[in-house]
């Protein structure tokens, strides 16, 4: 069961990162070209939001069943154990909170430029945090 969850978490990460990147690029283009915020733009941002939340849920399940997750929390002298048991989960939770804030803020503003700006800022911050704490030695 552990390996299935781990493979899903690793595979889904590709989709989540691609959707996040696509959303950031789309929102930056929309913001700088001053185009209208359409239903297509909303769906792109929503799909990125949903994919990151699915990744979070699967990651939390993996955290508690993995020998590299919660079980390694007492071993903070090892850099790899610290990354997988503390830094990666905590940073990604913060990143997904930022992405969720960006989604919530875009719904409260009326202008298209403000919607694109909210999504581009918060989704970019989330994407950068996620990329900063991926355990690349385990993933690639």
Model pLDDT for residues 72-126, shown as the tens digit of each residue: 777 778 888 888 888 999 999 999 999 999 999 999 999 999 999 999 999 999 9
Per-residue pLDDT, averaged over 28-52, amounts to 97
d(CA 127, CA 1): 29
Average pLDDT, rounded, for the chain: 93
More confident residue, 6 or 66: 6
d(CA 36, CA 19): 20
- pTM comes to 0.92
Burial of 4 (0-12, 13-18, 19+ CB in 10 A): exposed
d(CA 2, CA 130): 22
Nearest partner of 66 among 42, 36, 89, judged by Cα: 89
d(CA 46, CA 52): 10
Residue 71 pLDDT exceeds 80: no
């Amino acid at each position: 069961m552990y390996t299935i969850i781990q493979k899903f978490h690793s595979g889904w990460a590709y989709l989540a990162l691609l959707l996040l990147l696509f959303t950031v690029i789309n929102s930056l283009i929309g913001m700088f070209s001053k185009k209208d915020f359409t239903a297509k733009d909303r769906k792109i941002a929503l799909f990125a939001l949903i994919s990151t939340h699915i990744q979070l849920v699967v990651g939390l399940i993996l955290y508690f069943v993995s020998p590299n997750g919660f079980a390694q929390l007492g071993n903070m002298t090892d850099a790899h154990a610290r990354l997988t048991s503390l830094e990666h989960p905590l940073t990604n939770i913060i990143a997904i909170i930022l992405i969720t804030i960006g989604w919530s803020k875009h719904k409260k503003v009326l202008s298209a430029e403000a919607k694109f700006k909210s999504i581009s800022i918060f989704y970019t911050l989330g994407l950068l945090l996620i990329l900063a704490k991926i355990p690349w030695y385990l993933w690639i």
